[in-house]
Amino acid sequence: MALTTTGGFVTGLISAVLPEIVTTQFVIRCRVPPRVAIATSIFVLGVTAIAGAAVHALSATPVWYVVAWSIPGVVNYPVLLAHSVRSLRTGA
C-alpha cells in the first residue's frame, strides 16, 4: 500500500493527467476498490494543484492568467468525474 501511495504521489507531481492512468492501475493491478482509487487520484491531483499554486504565488513572477484559467478546471474536475462514474454505474 505504501508503494502505491508513493507511486501515485510521484505520478501526480509529474502531471495532472496521469492520475487517471494511475486510477486504472490501482483498480486492475493493486485490486483497490474503484471509489478508493478515484478518491486517491483526486486527492493527489488536489495536493499537486495546491502545491503548484503555492510555489507560483510565492515566486517573484506569478503567472496570474494561468492561475485564473486553471481554477475552473481544478474545481470542476471532481464534479465531472463523479458524474461520469455515476453515469457509468447506472448505465445512463
Confidence label for 24 from pLDDT (cuts 50, 70 and 90): confident
Average pLDDT, the chain: 75
Q: Are 41 and 20 in contact (CB under 8 A)?
A: yes
The set of long-range contacts for 47-53, using a CB threshold of 8 Å and a minimum separation of 24, is 47/9, 47/12, 48/12, 48/13, 48/16, 49/16, 49/74, 51/13
pLDDT digits (tens, 9 = 90+) for 38-72: 888 878 877 877 887 787 778 767 677 777 777 77
Q: Whole-angstrom Cα distance, residue 30 to residue 15?
A: 21
Q: Which sequence spans correspond to the domains of the chain?
A: 2-90
Instruction: Kindly report the pTM of this predicted structure.
Output: 0.48
